């Protein structure tokens, strides 16, 4: 069901509380805190622009970091207000109090189209506890509640879920709308062939996603360290690759389900292997590729997919009408082990006929580092939220918004 969005709501002259994701990285420079990546702020600009056009009185709220209920200058949203003003070309007021008389007075004084940003919601321990009194205080600031923070929607916190009970009109913003369209609709009703690429470190982290996508995909390509747990389950030698022996049963069950459903389930046929690997220092000893079909010898560790796998997977990706990618094919943070992941990024970007979806987390970094971010259909802004949504979980921050009539 489609959710009510800001397009559907009458907002003229109404105080509109918008939950956004402004959890941006900050660096200290000469005693001041400087934003090092403002992507998350830029991503809210379309929603803010439309709200201003509709005459809303905009009250933005967000969390930053993990202050555990204590106010501190390092995790203040004050620098975000400055950057948002620069990016939007509009003055942005800041309330040093998140709730209470100061915030209420500032919210009440807003004129149509004006913007106020509230201080970090997590300066109150009640936020993460989804405390109803705190949620009601947030609700008191506004006539309308909009959730546009997809990256925080898997948490039932006061500003992402609880507050909705205390505001009559509710909807989602444009960013959330796009997330639901691509990670939700485009995956649930995928144009076929639907090719899914999953990678990353652990089967245990991704098994629910694998299980859910086995009901929808035509082909699943498994890379990253996850592939070695599957190889282990199939009785293959994996050397000292990162594996989860306690997930062997789970891996076998997924393989059985793939067979029963007729889903093509492909593991790497060759790998890049090394003897020494230091993740902290980002160094590896000189490596080599295994021959297609060969197992990983004792004392060696698989850290990337090999060229034959890249060739086979590129061909699969090229035939797809929908592609979903979550998780790197290897230890892409280390240059020598990043070739496979970047090749996957290139292959996904090269298929301009398909809806291509980058499902959050490290694959987003990989697509950006490969320089192909503008060649895919959609890049999810959520990490944990994207994964939970793809698992088929109901996100509290979405569930609290009504469906369209
Ligand atoms: P995830 O957060 O589960 O998507 O996992 C991402 C992490 O998996 C990245 O930090 C990668 O370095 C790591 N990874 C991918 N392939 C391997 C591998 N073959 N061995 C060890 N770690 C890997």
**Residue 172 in contact with ligand 1 by CB distance below 6 A:** no
Q: What is the pLDDT of residue 360?
A: 83
| Nearest C-alpha neighbor of 130 from the set 382, 396, 389, 392 | 396
Domain boundary among 132, 160, 175: 175
Task: State the pLDDT at residue 36.
Answer: 94
* CA 147 vs CA 23, 164, 169, 344: distances in Å: 15, 9, 12, 33
Residue 138 forms part of a structural domain: yes
Q: Is ligand 1 within 6 A of the CB of residue 205?
A: yes
Which ligand 1 atom minimizes the distance to the CA of 363?
A: 4
Specify if 399 maps to a domain.
no
d(CA 206, CA 214): 12
Do 328 and 254 belong together in one domain?
Answer: yes
pLDDT, residue 266, reads: 98
Among residues 40, 52, 57, 206, which one is catalytic? 40
- Collapsing DSSP to helix, strand or coil, 158 comes out as coil
Q: Do residues 274 and 130 share a domain? A: no
pLDDT tens profile 33-84? 999 999 999 999 999 999 999 999 999 999 999 999 999 999 999 999 999 9
Q: Is there a contact between 170 and 401 (Cβ–Cβ < 8 Å)?
A: yes
384 part of the active site: yes
Instruction: Decide if 404 is inside a domain.
Output: no
Q: Are residues 171 and 204 in the same domain?
A: no
Cα 328 to ligand 1 centroid, rounded to whole Å: 6
Tens of pLDDT, residue by residue over 295-346, are: 999 999 999 999 999 999 999 999 999 999 999 999 999 999 999 999 999 9
Ligand 1: does its nearest atom lie under 6 Å from the Cβ of 362? Answer: yes
Helix, strand or coil for residue 325?
Answer: strand
CA angle 22, 28, 33 (to 5 degrees): 45
| Token pair 């694998």 in the structure block, residue | 210
Q: Note the pLDDT of residue 30.
A: 87
Residues 250 and 121 in one domain: no
Closest CA to 380 of 399, 363, 397, 401: 363
Report the C-alpha gap between 169 and 10 in whole angstroms: 9
Q: Are 77 and 64 in contact (CB under 8 A)?
A: yes
pLDDT of residue 31: 85
Question: How many angstroms separate the CA atoms of 368 and 379, rounded?
Answer: 10
How far apart are the C-alpha atoms of 34 and 204, rounded to whole Å? 37
Q: Return averaged pLDDT per consecutive 10 residues of the chain, 405 residues in all.
A: 95 98 93 92 97 98 96 96 98 98 98 98 98 98 98 97 98 97 95 97 93 97 97 97 97 98 98 94 94 97 98 98 97 96 97 95 92 96 92 96 95
Tell me if 319 is assigned to some domain: yes
Range of the domain at 236: 182-391
Q: Which of 157, 175, 193 is the last residue of a domain?
A: 175
Instruction: Report whether residue 200 contacts ligand 1, using a CB cutoff of 6 Å.
Output: yes
The CB density around residue 37, as the number of other CB atoms within 10 Å, is 11
Task: Indicate if 164 and 194 belong to the same structural domain.
Answer: no
Same domain for 253 and 356, yes or no, is yes
Position 340 in a domain: yes
Residues 96 and 168 placed together within one structural domain of the fold: yes
Asked whether 328 lines ligand 1 (CB < 6 A), one says yes
- Strands 144-147 and 169-172, by their bridges, are parallel
Domain assignment present for 158: yes
Q: Per the residue annotation, which of 13, 184, 384, 392 is the catalytic one?
A: 384
Same domain, 152 and 244: no
Residues contacting residue 200 through CB under 8 Å, at least 6 positions apart: 206, 224, 225, 226, 326, 327, 328, 361, 362
Per-residue model confidence as pLDDT tens digits over 96-111? 999 999 999 999 999 9
Q: Which of 362, 363, 365, 367 to mutate to test the pocket of ligand 1 (most atoms within 8 A of CB)?
A: 362
Same domain, 305 and 367: yes
Asked if residue 259 and residue 152 are part of one domain, the reply reads no
Residue pair 218/264 in contact (Cβ under 8 Å)? The answer is yes
Alpha carbons 59 and 197: distance in angstroms, whole number: 39
Mean model confidence pLDDT for the chain: 96
Does ligand 1 have an atom closer than 6 angstroms to the CB of 201?
yes
**Helix, strand, or coil (residue 195):** strand
pLDDT at 100: 98
- Pocket probe for ligand 1: among 201, 283, 287, 344, the residue whose CB has the most ligand atoms within 8 Å is 201
Work out which ligand 1 atom sits closest to the CA atom of 332: 12
Q: Look at the chain and report how many structural domains it folds into.
A: 2
Do residues 324 and 361 share a domain?
yes
Q: Is 327 a catalytic residue?
A: no
Question: Does residue 1 lie within any of the structural domains?
Answer: no
361 classed as catalytic: yes
| 203 shares its domain with 338 | yes
360 lines ligand 1 (CB under 6 A): no
375: Cβ below 6 Å to ligand 1? no
* Cα of 29 vs its chain's centroid, Å: 29
Last residue of a domain, one of 175, 200, 224: 175
For residue 75, what is the domain's CATH number? 3.40.50.1260
What angle in degrees, to the nearest 10, is found between the helix axes of 307-319 and 339-350?
Answer: 20
Question: Is position 25 within any domain?
Answer: yes
pTM assigned to the model: 0.94
202 in active site: yes
């Amino acid at each position: 069901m489609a959710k009510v969005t800001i397009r559907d709501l009458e907002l003229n002259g109404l105080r509109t509380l918008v939950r956004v994701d402004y959890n941006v990285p900050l660096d200290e420079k000469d005693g001041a805190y400087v934003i090092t990546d403002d992507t998350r702020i830029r991503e809210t600009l379309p929603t803010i622009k439309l709200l201003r056009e509709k005459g809303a009185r905009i009250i933005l709220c967000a969390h930053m970091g993990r202050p555990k209920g204590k106010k501190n200058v390092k995790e203040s949203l004050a620098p975000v207000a400055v950057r948002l003003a620069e990016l939007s070309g509009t003055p942005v007021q800041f309330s040093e109090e998140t709730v209470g008389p100061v915030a209420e007075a500032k919210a009440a004084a807003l004129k149509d189209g004006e913007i106020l940003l509230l201080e970090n919601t997590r300066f109150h321990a009640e936020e993460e506890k989804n405390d109803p009194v705190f949620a009601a205080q947030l609700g008191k600031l506004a006539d309308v509640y909009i959730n546009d923070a997809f990256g925080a929607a898997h948490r039932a916190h006061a500003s992402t879920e609880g507050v909705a009970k205390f505001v009559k009109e509710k909807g989602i913003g444009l960013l959330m709308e796009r997330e639901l369209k691509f990670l939700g609709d485009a995956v649930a009703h995928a144009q076929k062939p639907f090719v899914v690429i999953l990678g990353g470190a652990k089967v245990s982290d991704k098994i629910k996603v694998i299980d859910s996508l086995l009901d929808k995909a035509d082909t699943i390509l498994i890379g990253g360290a996850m592939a070695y747990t599957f190889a282990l389950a199939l009785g293959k030698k994996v050397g000292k690759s990162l594996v989860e022996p306690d997930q062997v049963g789970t891996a076998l069950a997924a393989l059985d389900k793939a067979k029963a459903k007729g889903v093509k389930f492909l593991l790497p046929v060759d790998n890049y292997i090394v003897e020494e690997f230091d993740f902290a220092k980002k160094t590896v000893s000189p490596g080599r590729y295994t021959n297609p079909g060969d197992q990983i010898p004792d004392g060696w560790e698989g850290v990337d997919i090999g060229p034959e796998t890249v060739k086979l997977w590129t061909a699969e990706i090229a035939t797809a009408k929908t592609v979903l990618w979550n998780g790197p094919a290897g230890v892409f943070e280390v240059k020598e082990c990043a070739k496979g992941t970047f090749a996957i990024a290139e292959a996904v970007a090269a298929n301009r006929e398909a809806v291509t979806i980058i499902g959050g987390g490290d694959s987003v970094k990989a697509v950006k580092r490969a320089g192909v971010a503008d060649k895919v259909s959609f890049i999810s802004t959520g990490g944990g939220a994207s994964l939970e949504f793809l698992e088929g979980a109901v996100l509290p921050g979405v569930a609290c918004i009504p469906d369209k009539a």
